[in-house]
């Protein structure tokens, strides 16, 4: 029987630990602060921003939500980021993506000070990740590694296949697995014979965004399967993996929902607390 990796329970444990840490920091007037900027009215983005706000409040992190109209100019957004970069009450700055088309996303991400880039998307942090230096690591990949750790899965020497090469999931998680001494294969839309690449993997990380694309029969017996995909099908959330058949072959598998999803926000909170601790250390 496969272990069903309970991301919801693991994330809750993490949040409880963070709440204790935040309470301790508060005693020295060091409440971590996260600023979340939303430009426009996209309903999905609105709901992500609201859940980040609720999560911050639950652990005692100071949350500043800034909603700007869709017509906000790039220079206005850059000025706001500049102000937040200099605000000592703010330890993390997150700009909810996607941004309206008239704003160049790269300009905005690059304007966030790398020390407050708790999403880990700044090229400085991604470059440090690639070179194996300490940095803020992107939240979803960090959450995936945490789930593997909590399940007692050691990546050293394992064949890991990552499906998807986005800058926010596929590429960084591949780098992080490499840093844990895995042999990593990255697949994407031009990969020939995806099933074969999946079949030789001890660990598969699926981050594609196509409902149930990875069929159960493709997986090696005993594989560990991490399903990052979030797809809405007939009002229900499903992953990128055909769960019902994959669970028969897996030694451990994440469900959707309740697997990777809850970990992403938990890691955002963890990075924000870490940012405050680093700025305290820098002052001493």
Q: How far apart are CA 109 and CA 111, in angstroms?
A: 5
Residues 6 or more apart whose CB falls under 8 angstroms from that of 24 comprise: none
Q: How far is the CB of 146 from ligand NDP (least distance, A)?
A: 12
Known catalytic residue at 119: yes
Q: Does 37 bind ligand NDP (CB under 6 A)?
A: no
Q: Does 200 bind ligand NDP (CB under 6 A)?
A: no
Of residues 152-181, which lie at the interface with ligand NDP (CB under 6 A)?
Answer: 163-166, 168-170
Q: Does 192 bind ligand NDP (CB under 6 A)?
A: no
Known catalytic residue at 52: yes
Which member of 153, 207, 214, 252 binds ligand NDP (CB under 6 A)? 207
Burial class (CB in 10 A: 0-12, 13-18, 19+), 248: middle
Catalytic residue among 52, 116, 158, 171: 52
Alpha helix segments (H runs only) across the chain: 7-27, 43-59, 74-86, 105-111, 123-131, 139-150, 170-179, 194-199, 243-249, 261-283
Q: How far apart are CA 133 and CA 135, in angstroms?
A: 6
Q: Does 188 bind ligand NDP (CB under 6 A)?
A: yes
Burial class (CB in 10 A: 0-12, 13-18, 19+), 152: exposed
Largest CA distance in the chain: 56
Report residue 105 as tokens.
């996303």
Known catalytic residue at 96: yes
Which member of 209, 251, 277, 279 binds ligand NDP (CB under 6 A)? 209
Q: Does 197 bind ligand NDP (CB under 6 A)?
A: no
Q: How far apart are CA 233 and CA 155, in angstroms?
A: 32
Which member of 101, 190, 192, 283 binds ligand NDP (CB under 6 A)? 190
Q: Does 16 bind ligand NDP (CB under 6 A)?
A: no
276 with 24: CB under 8 angstroms?
no
Q: How far is the CB of 166 from ligand NDP (least distance, A)?
A: 3
Q: How far is the CB of 7 from ligand NDP (least distance, A)?
A: 9
Decide whether 22 or 256 has the Cβ nearer to ligand NDP.
256
Decide whether 13 or 20 has the Cβ nearer to ligand NDP.
13
Phi-psi region of 250 (alpha: psi -120 to 50; beta: other; left: phi over 0): beta
Catalytic residue among 6, 115, 119, 202: 119
Which member of 228, 238, 250, 266 binds ligand NDP (CB under 6 A)? 228
Residues that bind ligand NDP (CB under 6 A): 140, 163-166, 168-170, 187-191, 194, 207-210, 228-231, 260-261, 264
Residues with a catalytic annotation lie at: 52, 96, 119
């Amino acid at each position: 029987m496969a272990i069903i990796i309970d991301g919801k329970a693991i994330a809750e444990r993490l949040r409880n630990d963070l709440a204790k840490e935040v309470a301790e920091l508060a005693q020295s007037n060091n409440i971590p602060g996260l600023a979340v900027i939303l430009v426009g009215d996209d309903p999905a983005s609105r709901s992500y921003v609201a859940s980040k706000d609720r999560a911050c409040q639950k652990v005692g992190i100071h949350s500043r939500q800034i909603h700007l109209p869709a017509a906000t100019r790039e220079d206005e957004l850059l000025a706001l980021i500049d102000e937040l970069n200099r605000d000592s009450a703010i330890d993390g700055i997150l700009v909810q993506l996607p941004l309206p088309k008239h704003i160049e996303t790269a300009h905005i991400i690059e304007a966030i000070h790398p020390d407050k880039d708790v999403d880990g998307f700044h090229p400085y942090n991604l470059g440090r990740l690639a070179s194996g230096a300490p940095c803020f690591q992107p939240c979803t990949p960090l959450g995936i590694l945490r789930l593997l750790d909590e399940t007692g899965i050691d990546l050293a020497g394992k064949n890991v296949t990552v499906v998807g090469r986005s800058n926010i999931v596929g590429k960084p998680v591949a780098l992080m697995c490499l840093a844990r001494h895995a042999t990593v294969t990255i697949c994407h839309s031009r990969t020939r014979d995806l099933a074969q690449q999946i079949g030789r993997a001890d660990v598969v990380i699926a981050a594609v965004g196509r409902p149930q694309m990875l069929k159960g029969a493709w997986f090696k017996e005993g594989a560990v399967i991490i399903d990052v995909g979030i797809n809405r099908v007939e009002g229900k959330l499903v992953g990128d993996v055909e769960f019902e058949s994959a669970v028969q072959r897996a030694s451990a598998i994440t469900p959707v929902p309740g697997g990777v999803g809850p970990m992403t926000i938990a890691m955002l909170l963890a990075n924000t607390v870490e940012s405050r601790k680093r700025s305290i250390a820098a002052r001493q």
